[in-house]
Copies of this chain bind each other. A is one copy, B any other.
C-alpha cells in the first residue's frame, strides 16, 4: 500500500500546491531563500509567529520533498543549519514574481522601491544575484 495522497493530478500547479499550498511553507522558504535565515531559532522568530510544532513539521516535509537539507553547522558542531537545495533555489523566480505582485497590489506592503526598480530593469540579474547569494551561504554552512 503506497502512500496515496489525494488523487494526484498531472498539473504542475497542482503539484506545486502539494508542496507549498498552505499558509506557512512559503514563508519558511522565503526566510531561507531571501532572508538568509538558516537556523531553527531564526526561522521561528519571523514576524508571522509560526508555532514550534508547525515549523518542525514544515521543515520535515521540505526535507522529504528535497527542498532543504539539514546539516551540522561546521562552525559549531552542536548546531544545525538548513540549506536550500537546487530545487528550492529554482523557486526564486516564482517567489520574486509573487513579491512584485504583492507589492504592487498591497498599499500596505513595505518592499524597498529599489528592489522593484531593479526588477523592472534587470530581472534576470536580480534573480541570479539572489540565487548566487543562497549558494554562497550554503557553501559556508
List residues of A whose CB falls within 8 A of some B CB.
7-17, 21-23, 26-27, 30, 47-49, 87, 90-91, 93-95, 97-106, 108-111
Number of copies: 2
Q: Assuming the A-B contacts A8-B108, A110-B10, are A98 and B16 also in contact, with contact meaning beta carbons closer than 8 angstroms in the complex?
A: yes
Question: Which of A22, A87, A93 has the most C-beta atoms of chain B within 10 angstroms of its own C-beta?
Answer: A93
Main secondary structure of the interface of A (DSSP, over half): helix
Is B98 a contact partner of A13 (Cβ separation < 8 A)? yes
Residues of B within 8 A of A10 (CB): 108-110
Complex CA distance for A26 and B26, rounded to whole angstroms: 14
Question: Which of A7, A10, A14, A104 has the most C-beta atoms of chain B within 10 angstroms of its own C-beta?
Answer: A14
